[in-house]
Chains A and B, each alone.
Chain A
Amino acid sequence: MNITQILFWFLSVVALFSALMVITNKNPVYSVLWLIVTFFAISGHYILLNAQFLAIVNIIVYAGAIMVLFLFVIMLMNLNKETEPQKNRWLRMAGAVAGGCLLLVLVAALKDTDIKQQQAMVNGGSIGLIKNLGKELFTTYVVPFEISSILFLSAMVGAVVIGKKE
């Protein structure tokens, strides 16, 4: 077992455990904090694959910016056990069934894809470094890249329109 494998198992355990804590915690603030831990573990996995840019951007965007907004909302609404609406048992069961169906569909869809034959390149490969990734994005994948930037722009305009409504 080399150090990469040790790190892989460690990060996997952290990611799975913190993801479980996100959904089992009663307090929504704790859930958000565990979700941040999950993002860090996933960033660790990216670094193991030498996808450094993805790892850093994952932390800046998800752990740094989006989760702060989540925390804002939850902290200001001051959700806790007393004020939280009690969901009835049927709703919970329906949720479990729906989630199970989604899992089933995902497993069925991914069962025969060729992903499982492909080995991840651990500790090597330089496509995740910023220079190579940038070249690839702005040459081979420039059209989808620009289209997604228009998507972001429209989201931004939409946010401004909603904010200006009054």
Chain B
Amino acid sequence: MTLLVIDWWLILEKALLIGGIIGLSFFIAMYTTLAERKVAAWLQDRRGPNRAGPFGIFQPLADGGKLFFKEEIIPLASNKFLFILGPALAMITALITSTVIPWAAPFITKGGNVIPMQVADVDMGILLVFSIVSVGVYGIMIGGWASNNKFSLMAAVRGASQMVSYELPMGLCLIAVLFMTGSLKMSEIVANQVQNGWHIIYQPLGFLIFFICALAECNRTPFDLPEAENELNFGYHQEYSSMKLGFYLFAEYINMFISSAVMVTLYFGGYDIPFVNEASWGLSSFWMSLISFSVLMAKISFFLFLFLWIRWTIPRFRYDQLMNLGWKKLIPLALVNMIITAAVLLLLNK
């Protein structure tokens, strides 16, 4: 009698894919920290870190080593379990969002098996990402509250209300995209763009709103109010030290990476190669997967650069400005965008 029937090949395949994607997320996040300092230096006419290795390429390792060996301080009056849970949650939610993103064109083995380069192509697709992002608030809230520090609590409340507010216009922009694809599946969103052209052509306003919201969701400048140093000292992770602080900072970079990937998939054709019909090249599927993956990575790198560029160019918003922008400008704009999209689609179909 067999107790459990498990498709071990599927488990192996998915485990490899998950491991690869998590490794990739960490790698990209690591080098985004270096890129951040290099871009900052470049914009401020400095050289940036250049001591560790040639051009400073080992700088992230040095930073990580430093964080690991720092003394770990847990405040006596803090809530110990929640204090540790906070950064862990921030990290876990940042990593889980990568599950539904299609990373490359599907790979077809010699036996004819199609291996999708996506951990799970679930029916809910993009909504799954939204649900995990909405749970990601708890990492900040729990950490800020458990620190037992007024500044941390204020920052956590700010961060959470900012994220909840900016999820709304983001979702409204998403609805306009879903009108065009008719499906929530990430694979079909990409397939629709390969066929009919990228969504950025049809949804420029939607993309702009989505991008602003993505900045707010990642707590990046100009929306980095949860860690506004001049008002809140260091924000929700003020009491954190050592690798727990590292987790919070690192989760932000992973969030940037994943939200860039989501934006590319929704508006910039995902792994699609622009201006050419790659199906006519007659390359083997291995090379196709590899090329499409590098194209996706190139697009993501551009967005990561955009994040950094904005951080070192635009000053921080005030809190009431942030809320006004979110509720009184972005939500009505996104609603109008949604209604216009719906009306145009209705006219074209009839």
The residues of A with any CB-CB pair to B shorter than 8 Å are 1-3, 6, 29, 33, 36, 52-53, 55-57, 59-60, 63-65, 68, 71-72, 75-76, 129-131
Question: Which residues of chain A come closer than 8 Å to B82, judged between CB atoms?
Answer: 29, 33
CB distance B145 to A29 under 8 Å? yes
CB distance A68 to B141 under 8 Å? yes
Give the number of chain B interface residues (Cβ < 8 Å): 27
Given A1-B3, A2-B5, A130-B184, A64-B127 contact (CB < 8 Å): no
CB distance B3 to A68 under 8 Å? no
Question: Which residues of chain A come closer than 8 Å to B164, judged between CB atoms?
Answer: 65, 68
CB distance B124 to A56 under 8 Å? yes
Top 7 nearest A-B pairs (CB, nearest first) are A64-B134, A59-B131, A60-B131, A56-B124, A56-B127, A75-B145, A129-B123
Question: Which residues of chain A come closer than 8 Å to B6, judged between CB atoms?
Answer: 3
The residues of B with any CB-CB pair to A shorter than 8 Å are 3-6, 82, 122-124, 127-128, 130-131, 134-135, 137-138, 141-142, 145, 153, 156-157, 160-161, 164, 183-184
Docked CA distance A64–B170 (Å):
15
CB distance A3 to B4 under 8 Å? yes
Given A1-B3, A75-B157, A130-B123, A64-B131 contact (CB < 8 Å): yes
Docked CA distance A71–B3 (Å):
43
Docked CA distance A77–B277 (Å):
60
Q: Nearest Cβ in chain A — how far from B146, in angstroms? A: 9
Q: Nearest Cβ in chain A — how far from B78, in angstroms? A: 13
Q: Nearest Cβ in chain B — how far from A26, in angstroms? A: 13
CB distance A60 to B157 under 8 Å? no
Partner of B160, one of A55, A57, A68: A68
Docked CA distance A29–B82 (Å):
10
CB distance A64 to B137 under 8 Å? yes
Q: Nearest Cβ in chain B — how far from A105, in angstroms? A: 35
Name the CB-closest residue of B to A61: B134
Partner of B123, one of A1, A6, A52: A52
Question: Which residues of chain A come closer than 8 Å to B157, judged between CB atoms?
Answer: 72, 75-76
Docked CA distance A81–B299 (Å):
53
Docked CA distance A1–B156 (Å):
45
